[in-house]
Amino acid sequence: MEKTGKTRVAALKHASTDLQQVVAPTEEHDLSSPELYLNRELTWLEFNRRVLHEAQDERTPLLERVKFLSIVASNFDEFFMKRIGGLKQQVGAAVHQLTIDGRSPQQQIAECYEVVREIESQQQHIVSDLVRRLVEQKIVLARHDELDSDQRLALREDYLANIYPLVTPQAMDPAHPFPFVSNLSLNLLVTLHHRKEKIPHLARVKVPVGLGIPRWLRVADTDVFIRLEEVMAKNLDLLFPGMEVEACELFRVTRNVYTQQDEEEADDLLAMIESELRDRRFAPIVRLEVEKGMSPERFAMLAAEFGLDPRADVFEPGGMLATRDLLEIAQLERPELCDPDHHPVEHPALIGERNIFNVIRDAGSLLLRHPYQSFSRSVERFLREASRDPKVRAIKVTLYRTSADSRVMDYLMEAARNGKQVAVVVELKARFDEEANIRWAARLEEAGIHVTYGVVGVKTHCKVILVVRQDYNGLRRYAHIGTGNYHAQTARLYSDLGLFTCDDQIGADLTELFNYLTTGYKPRRKYRKLLLAPTTLKRALLDKIQREISLHGPASPGRIQIKMNALEDADITQALYCAARAGVEVDLIVRDTCRLRPAIPGLSERVRVVSIVGRFLEHTRIVYFRNGGDEEYYVGSADCMKRNLESRVEAMVPIEDAGHRRELRAIIDSQLSDRRSAWEMDEAGRYAQLTPLDGEEQRGCQELFIAAAERQYRDATRLRRRRPRGVGGGRNLR
């Protein structure tokens, strides 16, 4: 397989050389100055502060507020596993190189720890407040001592019958070394002694949450819940009969998942990933969380056993550990305490049973908006019909993440059984989904599907499907290009876009892309319309920013608008600073990480940075250039991050249909005018939540999008009912 590293580096060197013309510093502002750039890790933590605010917001239904609490805790777990783990590896490797914002790895860790402790303290105050509010709704998160004797006895019997057999105490003494502690596990550290002796002994007991065992145990048939570890702690006599318990203290560890092996040296990529997963299980611990009040001796002992600095790496949040498990409470069946039910509607053009390929061919393209429009009745339908249509010859798909019960995979295997050529590019290195993707790869291969794992040195992150069909006038290529994964569950939770198209040039580009992904050969293929990373996308974005500067003038003011998850790439950030300094209006709708500071006098006064936090996770990527009036819109899988632009396979597709452009314009304008879900950044990098004034729209953009999708569906349904029989209906299988 041809290695792509040298060619990619050469292309990026060329891009950097050209960029010097765009970002040449002036006397007013030196664009290499660290003060102009915000830190990636700290801005991501600030995003979680905005998410946490949803748990405080009185306008948010109660159980939704509990859900946002759990989301922040889950995000922090991932942050320590990935980001802190990676920074600690840099410290261990004596990396002293500063980031563009002027911070060393150790400085970043120290500043992140300070922010995490501040947010966690705020989080525990919110937990206490929401627990009181839950009681008002007759949902009680009780302590064991608050239960009556009958309730305690019932819990003991339930624990003895259904959980106790899963529990394994582990002693710690000269004959029993300190046991292995798994990632994110809850553990009881039990100090005890024999009744006739005073010599203390230690034991570790893992709390067996998961695999059907909940963290919150329901008391009888009530809405009273108690934490599993409390029930275990109050029934230790079952585990240690005849012993006296001196103390029972809770702790939790987080391990580094940032394990990397050299895949260019691996003979078998699948075996290498499986080996990496095994290594990750035993990876170093990067965080220890302990319950408040743990004795100083045992506190120090645990820190020493895990090789942690007790003053820095040990966290004592002062309340519940693993608040991510509050999601169990948030999922209670109490609709009056939740957001109104949301049911994605069909895309207006896909209503009915007409063959989907004929619908796409007649329309030329369809723009899909998830979760407002149904994933199952669009993308899954596309694959279902492709798997069964006798005229379909081949299906090619990239897979980054998918759900455990994926219909996407079922339809691909059905297509293979029906004799179609099926090729799937599976990204084995999708963080936290490696094991699932390995299992899917094995099942797909057993079904006779051609499975490959992408190109050495880069992750395959693009979301594309290519279907080759024998139409009435010859072979035609139908495609789906999206911003989100082929994952039915996240398609109901994430805001994403997708494009169905039968454009010949896009189809030809995707053919070249899949040939590259399945061979790794000739990365400098010719692409007609798609912008692809790591080869052309970054260069194209920089060129288009420079073009916007050159076209800007009083008669034709320039404008750049980018909606993305993150703006982290230094070159793109510098280019946007240059555009703003030249007078170009720059609107950035950035969900989390953003390096650029708006509103700096003489530099970024024309930049606005907005973050949308709402019911759905904003995941859409849209790029807009006014281009002297000849407007350009792109959507796709890439964020403006160094990793996305330089070490991932990403695809951005132009949106050329006038109606689709109006839809994208409505999305951008609605989010820029939102005063319910929007937060705006100031020069210092601080965000303030916007609030509606009297007479202004009180609903956030996501609520407006739900209403618009439902209105379009109703209008299309009414129009269809009035349409004369036989016009546009039926299954056309030409």
Instruction: Tell me, rounded to whole angstroms, the distance of Cα 657 from its chain centroid.
Output: 29
Q: How many Å from the N-terminal Cα to the C-terminal Cα in the chain?
A: 41
Question: Which pLDDT value is given to residue 268?
Answer: 56
Tell me the residue type at 102. G
Preceding peptide of 390 cis, ω within 30°:
no
H or E element that contains 593:
none
461 is catalytic: yes
Q: Is the pLDDT of residue 160 over 70?
A: yes
Rounded Cα distance between 492 and 494, Å, is 6
78: in domain: no
Give Cα separations from 16 to 40, 126, 547, 575 (angstroms): 21, 47, 16, 11
Q: Are residues 318 and 420 in the same domain?
A: no
Average pLDDT taken over every residue of the chain: 90
Look at residues 475, 645, 500 and name the one whose alpha carbon lies nearest to residue 575.
Answer: 645
Q: What percent of the chain has pLDDT over 70?
A: 89
Q: Is the pLDDT of residue 431 over 90?
A: no
Q: Is the pLDDT of residue 273 over 90?
A: no
Report yes or no: 616 and 493 within 8 Å, Cβ to Cβ: yes
Look at residues 538, 601, 602, 547 and name the one whose alpha carbon lies nearest to residue 573.
Answer: 538
Q: Is the pLDDT of residue 14 over 80?
A: no
Report yes or no: 685 and 596 within 8 Å, Cβ to Cβ: no
Rounded Cα distance between 500 and 415, Å, is 19
Q: Is the pLDDT of residue 158 over 80?
A: yes
Q: Is the dihedral of CA 351, 356, 359, 363 positive or negative?
A: positive
Question: Which pLDDT value is given to residue 10?
Answer: 41
Report yes or no: 347 and 373 within 8 Å, Cβ to Cβ: yes
Out of 29, 370, 461, 487, which one is annotated catalytic?
Answer: 461
Question: Which pLDDT value is given to residue 364?
Answer: 97
Domain end call among 463, 494, 529: 529
Rounded Cα distance between 305 and 298, Å, is 10
Question: Which pLDDT value is given to residue 358?
Answer: 97
30: in domain: no
Tell me the residue type at 536. T
Question: Which pLDDT value is given to residue 8?
Answer: 36
Secondary structure (3-state) at 618: strand
Q: Are residues 536 and 424 in the same domain?
A: no
Q: Are residues 205 and 254 in the same domain?
A: yes
Q: Are residues 316 and 363 in the same domain?
A: no
Q: Is the pLDDT of residue 237 over 90?
A: yes
391: in domain: yes
Q: Are residues 537 and 506 in the same domain?
A: no
Report yes or no: 69 and 128 within 8 Å, Cβ to Cβ: no
Rounded Cα distance between 592 and 566, Å, is 6
Rounded Cα distance between 615 and 204, Å, is 40
Q: Domain of residue 428: give its range.
A: 348-529
More reliable by pLDDT, 113 or 6 = 113
Question: Which pLDDT value is given to residue 366?
Answer: 98
Q: What is the mean pLDDT of residues 545-568?
A: 97
Q: Is the pLDDT of residue 430 over 80?
A: no
Q: Are residues 553 and 474 in the same domain?
A: no
Among 140-144, 210-214, 288-292, whose mean pLDDT is lowest?
210-214
62: in domain: no
Give Cα separations from 225 to 46, 67, 170 (angstroms): 32, 16, 28
Give Cα separations from 306 to 90, 111, 349 (angstroms): 19, 22, 58
Question: Which pLDDT value is given to residue 457?
Answer: 82
Domain end call among 471, 495, 529: 529
pLDDT band (50, 70, 90) for residue 540: very high
Residues in contact with 295: Cβ distance below 8 Å, sequence separation at least 6, in sequence order:
247, 249
53: in domain: no
CATH of the domain at 212: 3.30.1840.10
Question: Which pLDDT value is given to residue 263?
Answer: 47
Give Cα separations from 409 to 418, 482, 515 (angstroms): 14, 17, 21
Question: Which pLDDT value is given to residue 731?
Answer: 43
Q: What is the mean pLDDT of residues 297-306?
A: 95
Question: Which pLDDT value is given to residue 456?
Answer: 79
Q: Are residues 498 and 536 in the same domain?
A: no
Question: Which pLDDT value is given to residue 434?
Answer: 64
Among 171-175, 283-287, 393-397, 615-619, whose mean pLDDT is lowest?
171-175
Backbone angles phi, psi at 406, to 5 degrees: -70, 120
pLDDT band (50, 70, 90) for residue 380: very high
More reliable by pLDDT, 270 or 102 = 102
- What are the pLDDT digits (tens) for 667-698? 999 999 999 999 999 999 999 999 998 888 89
- What are the pLDDT digits (tens) for 593-647? 999 999 999 999 999 999 999 999 999 999 999 999 999 999 999 999 999 999 9
- What are the pLDDT digits (tens) for 432-464? 556 777 777 888 889 899 988 878 788 899 999
Report yes or no: 606 and 584 within 8 Å, Cβ to Cβ: yes
Domain end call among 309, 337, 365: 337
Q: Are residues 329 and 200 in the same domain?
A: yes
Q: What is the mean pLDDT of residues 714-725?
A: 82
**Count of domains forming the chain:** 3
Among 13-22, 122-131, 304-313, 358-367, whose mean pLDDT is lowest?
13-22
Using a CB cutoff of 8 Å and minimum separation of 24, what contacts does 240-246 make?
Answer: 240/169, 240/190, 240/192, 240/203, 242/194, 242/195, 243/192, 243/193, 243/194, 243/195, 243/201, 244/192, 244/193, 244/194, 244/195, 245/190, 245/191, 245/192, 246/191, 246/192, 246/193, 246/200
Q: Is the dihedral of CA 229, 234, 237, 240 positive or negative?
A: positive
Q: Are residues 489 and 577 in the same domain?
A: no
H or E element that contains 400:
none
CATH of the domain at 674: 3.30.870.10
Q: What is the mean pLDDT of residues 473-484?
A: 96
12: in domain: no
74: in domain: no
> pTM score, two decimals?
0.90
Q: Are residues 471 and 544 in the same domain?
A: no
Rounded Cα distance between 95 and 654, Å, is 40
Among 168-177, 309-318, 614-623, whose mean pLDDT is lowest?
168-177
128: in domain: no
For residue 153, give both structure tokens. 């006895």
Q: Which residues of 574-588 are buried (b: 16+ CB within 10 A; e: fewer)?
A: bbbbbbbbbebbbbb
Q: Are residues 264 and 361 in the same domain?
A: no
For residue 36, give both structure tokens. 């102009």
Q: Are residues 511 and 556 in the same domain?
A: no
Rounded Cα distance between 231 and 214, Å, is 12
Strand ranges for 67-148 from DSSP E: 140-141
Report yes or no: 632 and 625 within 8 Å, Cβ to Cβ: yes
Give Cα separations from 322 to 124, 165, 289, 328 (angstroms): 11, 23, 9, 12
Rounded Cα distance between 734 and 720, Å, is 22
